[in-house]
Amino acid sequence: MGAGSVMRLAAALLALAFAAGSAPTCAAQPLRRNYYAGVCPGVESIVRGVVAKKVRQTGTTIGATVRLFFHDCFVQGCDASVVVASAGNNTAEKDHPNNLSLAGDGFDTVIRAKAAVDAVPQCRNKVSCADILAMATRDAIALAGGPSYAVELGRLDGLSSTKSSVNGKLPAPFFNLDQLNKIFAANGLSQADMIALSAGHTVGLAHCGTFSGRLRGPSAPDPTLDRGYAAQLQAECPANVDPRAAVSMDPVTPVAFDNQYFRNLQAGKGLLASDQVLYTDPRSRPAVDAWARSAAAFNRAFVAAITKLGRVGVKTGAQGNIRRNCAVLN
């Protein structure tokens, strides 16, 4: 091999090493299906039963649980750090302004499921809160008519939870496509993953304050909003309304996990600016159109994306533990 070839090979290897060293936070697969088969074989059915009961009690559980999982994974990885309550001098993730809108039903689902799992002597203190949240998210989606999928398990719970760790980690409701892609790419997720995961907005609620700028202001209503939908939102969120007042994110099938989200975007009925931009930007519109046409194609893309999301920043070994109380660090 000539000197030039050696140099080119060395440069290529260096570039590869640099790329690997700077890669996003997807874990190198410490997770696996049926992780608890030997220590708590009934864990998935226990969690599913709790989630089903909670959903029957309050439908907001579905969107609240899905959103909780997303907010958890994007800050320090999928480690249930978002469930931890502030205590003493520490202000936890959940009390960051960007997390104050997380509905209590999501937290309650995790706490109830953990209690039910630990009520089985064989399972006590064997199943992490992070895994319980991952399972509960899958179950909430399936109960709402979405795809059911095998959940990879084996996460440990994070050892810290701080308000400051949330800064800059979550997408804002006004983000454009480049900003969305950048923040998802930081977590090892592609544009296709981002669009599929954005369809989590097919369930749940959004506070009026997150989209009020689209309804009022110098250039309002936002020209990308359907006029009839804009009028509906202006009626539901009048100028003097409490910004914490909430409306359904999907005006057509608000409690069903389906591909209606994409049809809404085609009709100018994306609630957040960061939703509607997926259709108005020609780079992302083809995926919106494809998944509006085919529920099966969307379901496949969503399962692939949420599986990748569940691998972000996974804690193993000395990086984590199994919390006795999901809201309290051990």
201 is in an annotated binding site: yes
Is there a contact between 100 and 240 (Cβ–Cβ < 8 Å)? no
Is there a contact between 92 and 161 (Cβ–Cβ < 8 Å)? yes
Beta strands in the chain (DSSP E): 157-158, 205-207, 246-248, 320-321
- The torsion defined by the Cα of 249, 253, 255 and 259, in degrees rounded to 10, comes to -80
66 is in an annotated binding site: no
**Whole-angstrom Cα distance, residue 269 to residue 275?**
9
SS3 content of the chain, % helix, strand, coil (to 5): 50, 5, 40
Q: Residue 278 burial by CB count (10 A; 0-12/13-18/19+): exposed, middle or buried?
A: buried
250 is in an annotated binding site: yes
Q: Residue 277 burial by CB count (10 A; 0-12/13-18/19+): exposed, middle or buried?
A: buried
226 is in an annotated binding site: no
Catalytic residue among 67, 71, 138, 311: 71
**Backbone region of residue 152 per phi and psi (left: phi > 0; alpha: psi in -120 to 50; beta: other values):** beta
72 is in an annotated binding site: yes
Report residue 216: phi and psi, to 5°: -140, 145
253 is in an annotated binding site: yes
Q: Strand, coil or helix: what is 16? A: helix
96 an active-site residue? no
**Whole-angstrom Cα distance, residue 314 to residue 25?**
8
81 is in an annotated binding site: yes
171 is in an annotated binding site: yes
Looking at this protein, which amino acid is placed at residue 235?
A
Task: Compute the half-sphere exposure of residue 16: CA atoms within 13 Å on the CB side of its CA.
Answer: 6
Tokens of residue 318, six digits: 């000395």
281 is in an annotated binding site: no
Indicate the pairing of strand 157-158 with strand 246-248. Answer: unpaired
Helix axes 104-118, 129-143, angle to 10 degrees: 120
Which of the residues are catalytic? 71
Residue positions in the annotated binding site for heme b?
201
Residue positions in the annotated binding site for substrate?
171
Residue positions in the annotated binding site?
72, 75, 77, 79, 81, 93, 171, 201-202, 250, 253, 258
Residue positions in the annotated binding site for Ca(2+)?
72, 75, 77, 79, 81, 93, 202, 250, 253, 258
